[in-house]
């Protein structure tokens, strides 16, 4: 018996290793849509956005933070090394977000011209930091890109429509009407790129869109939600985190089953969501107000969710009050940059301590700022949803 057990143990270990290896191989073999780059690590789809993975294209860019100021119709440009505004340029009416293109060569300013018909997109060359010629585009509140990079997805919020346009020229290609999604604005894609979930701000619902067949798969009413905002997929692709400004927290949604499975309280006016560079944490910007246009010096804060446990592990209040809204993490992962939407400032927050390192005065009502360069192979849109 004593002579058999070691051999049995070795055989068992070999069997387990083979099974584990087979599982790992299967898990890593994510069948993506044609044209979408492969998923190198199925347990962490943010593996290519680590601090040491700024690609050659993005590396040529000036290190800058681009801040769209919704009411002053311009973009403030911050040097992250000095925390100073080094330039400012005019764009179209109501700039909402600065969006890195799929190929990382252009930063697009989405000017949706609320209540008007003269929406536009302004390209910015990240190598020079200079804007190009503005292009007329219907109601571009937000912008995403198909995973193959061929089309820009213009989120025409007021029109309840997703417009597919040429990713380079912005020429119209086709549309998907989303009539039951008032206030459609933010989105994230499945790990394989086949579908995405969009938030419907004014109905407390989510919309699931099939991007292979270009059709609506269904709607999901959140249990106690009233104003869902940003949405971000978990590192393993299994669930989506949805910030809700009225519920004061983040819903957890099973993406495949399209069902709500949890809720995480985070703070007043949960709004923006940004993964840490190592893919272990999710930063939640709590805007400090339930109102679309809130007061300055609100109960703004940042909550830090651990992806693995789905629990808040830290909360960082904004000293003196504030309104942290949208932004992203620096390339090295050490600074979380967020617009202070109702305070006309930008916050630079230390991700190790939660300390606000700087409050930088910008234009009127800063919104979806982007930090550039960022690590990653390609951009799916928003303020830097890179993979």
pLDDT at 259 (0 to 100)? 98
pLDDT at 8 (0 to 100)? 35
Please give the distance of CA 292 from its chain centroid, rounded to a whole number.
19
pLDDT at 50 (0 to 100)? 97
pLDDT at 69 (0 to 100)? 98
Q: Per-domain residue ranges for the chain?
A: 31-372
Helix (H, G, I), strand (E, B) or coil at 146: coil
pLDDT at 225 (0 to 100)? 72
98 and 66 Cβ atoms separated by less than 8 Å: yes
Give the integer Cα–Cα distance in Å for 51 and 278.
Answer: 8
Give the integer Cα–Cα distance in Å for 178 and 158.
Answer: 11
Give the integer Cα–Cα distance in Å for 210 and 197.
Answer: 9
> Any idea which architecture 31-372 has in CATH?
7 Propeller (2.130)
Give the integer Cα–Cα distance in Å for 266 and 176.
Answer: 33
* Residues near 294 by beta carbon (within 8 Å), at least 6 away in sequence: 269, 287, 288, 323, 341, 342
**Smallest Cα–Cα separation from 183: which of 92, 112, 268, 107?**
112
Mean pLDDT by 10 residues, the chain (387 residues): 38 37 50 96 97 96 98 98 98 98 98 97 98 98 98 98 98 98 98 98 97 97 92 98 98 98 98 97 97 94 98 98 98 98 98 98 98 98 98
275 and 231 Cβ atoms separated by less than 8 Å: no
pLDDT at 28 (0 to 100)? 56
């Amino acid at each position: 018996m004593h002579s058999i057990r070691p051999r049995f143990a070795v055989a068992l270990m070999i069997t387990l290793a083979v099974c584990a290896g087979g599982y790992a191989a299967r898990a890593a073999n994510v069948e993506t849509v044609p044209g979408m780059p492969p998923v190198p690590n199925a347990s962490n789809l943010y593996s290519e956005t680590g601090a040491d993975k700024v690609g050659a294209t993005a590396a040529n860019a000036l290190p800058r933070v681009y801040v769209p100021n919704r009411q002053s119709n311009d973009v403030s440009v911050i040097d992250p090394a000095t925390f100073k505004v080094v330039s400012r340029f005019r764009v179209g009416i109501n700039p909402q977000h600065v969006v890195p293109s799929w190929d990382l060569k252009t930063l697009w300013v989405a000017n949706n011209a609320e209540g008007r018909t003269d929406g536009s997109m302004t390209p910015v060359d990240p190598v020079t930091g200079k804007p190009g010629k503005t292009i007329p585009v219907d109601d571009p509140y937000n912008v995403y890109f198909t995973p193959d990079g061929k089309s820009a997805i213009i989120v025409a919020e007021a029109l309840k429509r997703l417009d597919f346009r040429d990713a380079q020229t912005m020429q119209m290609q086709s549309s998907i009407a989303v009539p039951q999604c008032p206030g459609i604005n933010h989105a994230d894609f499945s790990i394989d790129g086949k579908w995405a979930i969009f938030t419907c701000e004014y109905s407390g619902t989510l919309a699931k869109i099939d991007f292979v067949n270009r059709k609506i798969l269904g709607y999901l009413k959140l249990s106690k939600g009233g104003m869902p905002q940003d949405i971000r997929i978990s590192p393993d692709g299994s669930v989506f985190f949805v910030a809700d400004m009225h519920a004061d927290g983040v819903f957890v949604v099973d993406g495949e089953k399209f069902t709500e499975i949890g809720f995480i309280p985070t703070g007043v006016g949960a709004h923006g969501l940004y993964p840490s560079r190592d893919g272990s944490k999710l930063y939640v910007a709590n805007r400090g107000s339930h109102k679309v246009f809130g007061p300055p010096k609100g109960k703004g804060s940042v909550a830090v969710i651990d992806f693995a446990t789905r629990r808040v592990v830290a909360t960082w209040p904004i000293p003196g009050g504030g309104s942290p809204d949208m932004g992203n993490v620096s390339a090295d992962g050490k600074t979380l940059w967020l617009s202070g939407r109702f305070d006309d400032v930008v916050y630079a927050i230390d991700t190790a301590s939660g300390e606000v390192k700087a409050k930088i005065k910008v234009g009127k009502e800063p919104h979806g700022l982007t930090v550039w360069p960022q690590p990653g192979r390609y951009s799916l849109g928003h303020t830097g949803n890179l993979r």
